[in-house]
Structure 1
Amino acid sequence: MLSILLLLAGAALAFCSVWIQMQQREQEWLRQKLRRYESLSSKEEQERQLASNIAELERQEEFLNTQISNLQQESRELDAKVYLQAIDYYEPKFDFIKSSQYVIHLKNLKLDQEKMRKDGKAFISNVKLTLDGNQRKGDKMIKSLLNLIKEAFETQCDYAIREVKYNNVSNLEKRIISTFNKLNKLSEVTCCEISQGYLKLKVEELYLKYELEEKQQEEKEKDRAIREQMKQEEKERIKLEKARREAEEAKQIEKQYEEDIEKVRREMEQAAGTQLDDYQRQIQYLQEQLSKAQTNTENKEKSVSNFKRLKSGYIYVVSNIGSLGRDVYRIFMTKNNNPDVYVKTMNPAVPFPFDVHFKIYSEEASETVEYLHQQFNNKRVNLVNERREFFNVRLDEIEQAVQKICRETGALRIEKFEKVPQALEYRRTQAAERRSDYHTTLTDAYVQEEGEIA
């Protein structure tokens, strides 16, 4: 019995040992698994941290992009302000049309300045001084002081007038006035001064000089444009004349071949035998040459036609009362192959379509539109940029100018003339706005009436 118990105890002990080992292995396995989960948990934490860092960096990037955008906008605004300050909006003080008028006025102005200096009205002294009891020495000292003031003031004025440009004319005027005030302040003790009248003439000279140079530059650019246009027109004229001459020569050659063929045919009527074959070969040869000459004539005449076509085009007069108001017209030329479609689709940014008042075909389109622009040059909407072809003018004035060109040149063909703009979309929009205002008024009145009853 005891042995059985010992055997059972031993078996139990062995089982317990095996079970403990199994438990230990399971614990180790669980520890390893736990470590894996711990690693996974750490990885997830790292990923969460990384995601948080990325989100923070993205927020910082967005903030920096916003700052950069704001700085760029401020930079553009600053550039615009600097540019506006640089050009320093200038309103002309004189309204001379030609530079020669400025030159004459400037010359007269200098004569006025010289007269003021000679008459003692430019640099003046209102006191008599004596030096060592000597009046002559006192007068000499006053004269020397006035000469010093004159040299200082004239030097500043000469510099300003010599260096004046579009971006410094106002500052140079301020410099002249500042010099005037400083010199008069310094010479108060000796009662010497520069007169206001002389200062006015110097400032006037500054602006005259500036406007003269601007006018001369404008005239140079216009002259250059005219020369280029004349040069281009001369080239076109030479090419056209050459094409016409070649076409005439080709016609003469064609006519000569026709006459030769007719002559051979007459001679052929009197021929016989082998001589007849010779005439037949001559006719065949002449007909081949005639065919070439006819082709050449067609090509030359086509060249003449192409040159004429290049100079021709359509001139349109259009309005847009909904976008531009009344009595504002665009006068322009187009050589587009489909001009009507071009007019309908031009300027898509404006809210309403354009209405066509004139559609005119001209053999000399460039010259015609240039003439019309010159007729209304003083009525341009944009007085600075001549490429903006809008004019504040009545339609009957445009009609008179067009009819005058027709009478004088006969090179125009008026294909369309509408005196009153249709402006359909604009008028419908106005009608819709009136209906809307009417219904709004009725609704407000009804609401007010209901409120009073309540």
Structure 2
Amino acid sequence: MVRDFSKLMLRAFNAEADNLVRSLKPYKLDAAVERLRKVASTIERLGRSMDIRVSTQYLRIRIDELTLTADFLHKQAEEKEADRAERERLKEERKAQQELERERERLEKERAHYANALAALEAKGDLEAVARIRDQLADVDRALSDVDYRAANIRAGYVYVISNIGSFGEAMVKVGMTRRLDPRDRIRELSDASVPFNFDVHALFFSKDAVGIEGQMHARLSERRVNAVNRRREFFRVTPLEAKMHLSELAGELLEFEDIPEALEFRQSLSQVPAPIVLATSQSASLATQ
């Protein structure tokens, strides 16, 4: 009888432990361990008359199993997030490279057009027009040089500080960087259907070491991260003015910075919310006038 009752108790304990392992979430590890200890305590109480209990060593082994499972699930989630972030980074890099290639092709065509026009004007002897075309040709050459520099220097790009008070409140900003020719294209992509309102731009400036400035900003604001687990989430609980202070120290004098977000759609939405309707009975109305 004792042997059969021991097998029954062991099956009950293992069934509970297996179920905890199958349904475990990393953030629920402490609760799962506590639940398993309570099961072991219950078995010991019910089997006290027959001196039946779960041994301390076996309980420790099952707790270690829960701990290892939680660690595995956490690492697995980190790998999935890293893969997703890497795919997003490569996608962004491809877009930036395609934009640079298209811009270079456009500028080369424009340069060829000016070169042909210059040759024709020099043949005519129109010195005034020749000087004007040469200035325009020099502008195109500078633009080509800038495109070549951007393509060669992967650290160059735009650093941005944006907010979305309609979605996240006033004391939260996102600090990031992009290598796109038009950085607002990237910001418009962030303002997609995943958030109810568009992001507002507080700072947007080009830097030869945008990667370095972004990294230093993240380091300075690390204690104010919204997501303390996933370091790839670039949201911080700071006001735009606090972000401006750090940016000014890292990047020098900022030519343009918007302290107050426009938040046009959010503010219009607030103004269109109807006032609450108050229904009063005749009795309550009479009491209000007394």
TM-score, normalised via structure 2 length: 0.50
TM-score, normalised via structure 1 length: 0.34
Larger helix percent: 1
Higher radius of gyration, 1 or 2 = 1
Higher RCO by CA contacts (8 Å cutoff, separation 6 or greater): 2
